[in-house]
């Protein structure tokens, strides 16, 4: 069997034409898994990635250096009002290179919701069941063990248990972890089982050709089919496009550019006229955090990020239609020093007060399960510029308040002498506040910085072009051989880390793509 190759921006010729069976756009959990599955079926695959190919030997655990390599826009991209930092990959392996390696099976309640409310077929718990064990073996997934609990994880576990909140060790995709604590900068040891060290090299061993530094620009259409893709070469040194085009001729094109990228690509290709919901119903899993100052050293940036998590509040609870609590996951936080410095509140003496005790700063983070009726959207203007909108509706704000309050309680229960919120203003607590104090805080845009690491939606899966973009076979409505295989097809957020769901869905998509290509 012929082994594939890795190519980069220096190797392309202007006007070069490449013939293949399938073009896969994007190399994260969706694209890499899809490429691997198609390669296993004997198909010739071209895996196209806009970012660079940075193998683990180029990683140096430097926050600023690695942000330039594995984080799109160096993590400076935000929603249109500046409220939320949009975290996604721009590199071979996508966001899996900087993710925390949390590997949750999709909750059955979410798959059933998508089936019963949104009409998704072939993605029920029994349909995905065969893939979980396969993925867990492929990625060495196991529950986090005691040696990998840093001090913040230990404190988080003990405090949530004393509060009576159900939790568990988080399933982790790791092998021979060295406890460096630089997971968000990519693992220089290759221990974190990202797509960079798992599905991509396995696909290449089966003949997949990898094309990095290529920006997918334009679908080549032929009636109700696509016949290929036009791409622009990106100069890796300057990150600017070169005056070079590469053409792919293919029997099928599969879009796997991620929750922010896939709908953006289709909008730039004029598909908004075909699909009224394209770019709509965007979930981003907002992740507010709380910091705390302890008497003892925490050094939160060592060992694995989240060894223990609380699922007790994953689903929101209501009484007589009124919100009670929940709608989020809870975990210990892990921030490296430079990122922590940016999120510690205040200026001058206020900021110095915290940073002079940096090793004693710990904290928590929550992942909000996006409210179905308050989802965001992606807009592309006439010049191709993208804007991402995410309104914090009334229910989302109530969830935000409850999540923040519970994080404060966790840290005080864990022994913190002082708890404070991120942002420009200083919001400090020397004892647990009353819930009403948190409810009175004004959640204005940009005041309490948070990230959005888990985008979903924009190319919602469903039964018709009137209310969705792709069908239950991952095929774009009205097209014979155009598919989408990433988190953008989810009708709502997953309510847990979506990486495993993306990979399982991509295995289903691969069967449908192979059936079309033949």
Report the CATH number at residue 262: 3.50.50.60
Asked if residue 341 and residue 271 are part of one domain, the reply reads no
Sign of CA dihedral 438, 444, 449, 453: positive
> String of b and e for 94-114 (b: at least 16 CB within 10 Å)?
bbbbbbbbbbbbbbeebbebb
Position 46 in a domain: yes
The answer to whether residue 230 is domain-embedded is: yes
pLDDT of residue 1: 66
Is residue 27 in some structural domain? yes
308 bridge partner residues: 169
Q: Angle CA(80)–CA(340)–CA(363) in degrees, nearest 5?
A: 100
- Regarding whether 409 and 362 lie in a shared domain, the answer is yes
Q: Are residues 398 and 436 in the same domain?
A: yes
According to DSSP, residue 510 is labeled H
Burial class (CB in 10 A: 0-12, 13-18, 19+), 407: buried
Judge if 217 and 358 occupy the same domain. no
* Residue that finishes a domain, picked among 402, 418, 444: 444
The pLDDT value recorded for residue 280 is 98
Give the integer Cα–Cα distance in Å for 369 and 436.
Answer: 23
Whether 306 contacts 100, CB under 8 Å: yes
Residue 319, H or E segment: strand 317-319
- Do 156 and 189 lie in one domain? The reply is no
Let me know if residue 483 belongs to a domain.
yes
Q: Are residues 350 and 258 in the same domain?
A: no
Beta carbons within 8 Å of 201's beta carbon, 6+ residues apart: none
Q: What is the pTM of this model?
A: 0.97
d(CA 253, CA 231): 13
Token pair of 418 as six digits: 């002082």
Instruction: Tell whether 383 is covered by a domain.
Output: no
300 and 429 in one domain? yes
Place of tokens 């065969």: 130
95 shares a domain with 189 = yes
Residue 428 falls inside a structural domain = yes
> Does 149 share its domain with 298?
yes
Assess if residue 412 is contained within a domain: yes
Q: Could you read off the pLDDT tens digit of each residue along the chain, which spans 518 residues?
A: 689 999 999 999 999 999 999 999 999 999 999 999 999 999 999 999 999 999 999 999 888 888 888 888 877 889 998 889 999 999 999 999 999 999 999 999 999 999 999 999 999 999 999 999 999 999 999 999 999 999 999 999 999 999 999 999 999 999 999 999 999 999 999 999 999 999 999 999 999 999 999 999 999 999 999 999 999 999 999 989 999 999 999 999 999 999 999 999 999 999 999 999 999 999 999 999 999 999 999 999 999 999 999 999 999 999 999 999 999 999 999 999 999 999 999 889 989 999 999 999 999 999 999 999 999 999 999 999 999 999 899 999 999 999 999 999 999 999 999 999 998 888 999 999 999 999 998 777 778 889 998 999 999 999 999 999 999 999 999 999 999 999 999 999 999 999 999 999 999 999 999 999 98
Do both 225 and 99 map to the same domain? yes
Alpha helices of 330-393 — where are they, by DSSP H?
Answer: 337-343, 349-355
Q: How many domains does the chain have?
A: 2
User: 471 in a domain, yes or no?
Assistant: yes
Same domain, 220 and 323: no
DSSP track, 78-120? B-TTS-EEE----BTTGGGGTS--B-PPPPHHHHHHHHHHH--
Instruction: Please provide the distance, in angstroms rounded to a whole number, between the alpha carbons at the two ends of the chain.
Output: 19
Same domain, 211 and 342: no
Report the candidate in 438, 464, 457 with the shortest Cα–Cα distance to residue 498: 457
Range of the domain at 186: 13-68+90-140+180-283+457-517
Residue 316: the pLDDT is: 97
Cα(329)–Cα(407) distance, integer angstroms: 11
Question: How far are the Cα atoms of 21, 42, 508, 514 from residue 518, in angstroms, in the given order?
Answer: 9, 10, 16, 6
- Residue 186 CA to residue 98 CA, distance in Å, equals 5
């Amino acid at each position: 069997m012929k082994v594939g190759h890795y190519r980069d921006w220096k190797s392309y010729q202007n006007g070069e034409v490449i013939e293949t069976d399938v073009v896969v756009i994007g190399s994260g959990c969706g694209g890499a898994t899809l490429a691997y599955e198609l390669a296993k079926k004997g198909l010739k695959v071209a895996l196209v990635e806009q970012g660079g190919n940075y193998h683990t030997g180029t990683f140096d655990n430097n926050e600023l250096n690695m942000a330039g390599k594995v984080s799109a826009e160096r993590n400076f991209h935000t929603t249109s009002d500046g409220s939320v930092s949009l975290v996604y990959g721009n590199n071979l392996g996508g966001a899996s290179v900087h993710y925390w390696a949390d590997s949750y099976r999709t909750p059955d309640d979410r798959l059933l919701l998508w089936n019963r409310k949104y009409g998704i077929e072939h993605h029920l718990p029994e349909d995905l069941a065969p893939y979980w064990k396969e993925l867990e073996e492929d990625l060495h997934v196991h529950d986090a063990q005691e040696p990998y609990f840093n001090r913040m994880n230990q404190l988080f576990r003990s405090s949530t248990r004393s509060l009576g909140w159900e939790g568990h060790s988080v399933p982790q995709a790791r092998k021979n972890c060295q406890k460096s604590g630089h997971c968000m900068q990519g693992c220089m040891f290759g221990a974190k089982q990202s797509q960079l060290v798992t599905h991509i090299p396995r696909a290449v061993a089966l003949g997949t050709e990898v094309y990095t530094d290529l920006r997918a620009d334009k679908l080549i259409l032929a009636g109700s089919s696509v016949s290929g893709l036009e791409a622009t070469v990106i100069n890796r040194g300057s990150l600017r496009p070169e005056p070079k085009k590469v053409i792919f001729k293919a029997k099928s094109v599969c879009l796997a550019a991620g929750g922010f990228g896939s709908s953006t690509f289709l909008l730039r290709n004029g598909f908004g006229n075909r699909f009224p919901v394209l770019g709509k119903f965007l979930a981003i899993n907002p992740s507010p955090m709380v910091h705390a100052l302890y008497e003892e050293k925490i050094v939160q940036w060592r060992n694995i990020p989240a060894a223990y998590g609380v699922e007790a509040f994953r689903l929101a609870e209501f009484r007589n239609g009124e919100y009670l609590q929940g709608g989020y996951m809870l975990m210990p936080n892990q921030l490296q020093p430079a990122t922590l410095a940016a999120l510690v509140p205040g200026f001058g003496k206020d900021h110095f007060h915290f940073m002079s005790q940096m090793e004693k700063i710990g904290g928590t983070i929550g992942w909000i399960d996006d409210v179905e009726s308050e989802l965001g959207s992606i807009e592309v203007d006439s010049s191709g510029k993208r804007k991402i909108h995410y309104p914090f509706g009334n229910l989302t704000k109530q969830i935000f308040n409850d999540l923040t309050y519970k994080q404060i309680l966790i840290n005080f229960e864990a022994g913190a002498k002082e708890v404070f919120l991120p942002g420009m203003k200083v919001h400090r607590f020397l004892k647990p506040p009353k819930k009403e104090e948190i409810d009175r805080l004004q959640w204005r845009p940009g005041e309490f910085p948070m990230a959005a690491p888990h985008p979903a939606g924009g190319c919602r899966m469903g039964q018709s072009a009137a209310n969705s973009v792709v069908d239950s076979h991952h095929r774009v409505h009205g097209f014979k051989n155009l598919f989408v295989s990433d988190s953008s097809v989810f009708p709502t957020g997953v309510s847990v880390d979506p990486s495993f769901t993306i990979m399982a869905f991509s295995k289903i998509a691969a069967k449908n793509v192979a059936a079309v290509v033949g």
